[in-house]
Amino acid sequence: MSLLRKGLAVAVFQCLLVLSLTAKLMYDRQTRPRVWVKTRPWDPSLPIRGRYLALQLTPDACAPYFQETNAKRVLFFVPEHLTELEKMRAPEIWAEVTIPRKGPPRPIRLGI
Q: Is the pLDDT of residue 44 over 80?
A: no
Q: Which residues contact 68 (CB under 8 A, 6 or more apart)?
A: 99, 105
Task: Taking residues 43-58, report their average pLDDT.
Answer: 75
**What is d(CA 72, CA 55) in angstroms, rounded to the nearest whole number?**
8
Ramachandran category for residue 58: left, alpha or beta (phi over 0 → left; psi -120 to 50 → alpha): beta
Give the chain's mean pLDDT. 85
What is the pTM assigned to this prediction? 0.73
**What is d(CA 48, CA 25) in angstroms, rounded to the nearest whole number?**
23
Beta carbons within 10 angstroms of residue 61's beta carbon:
6
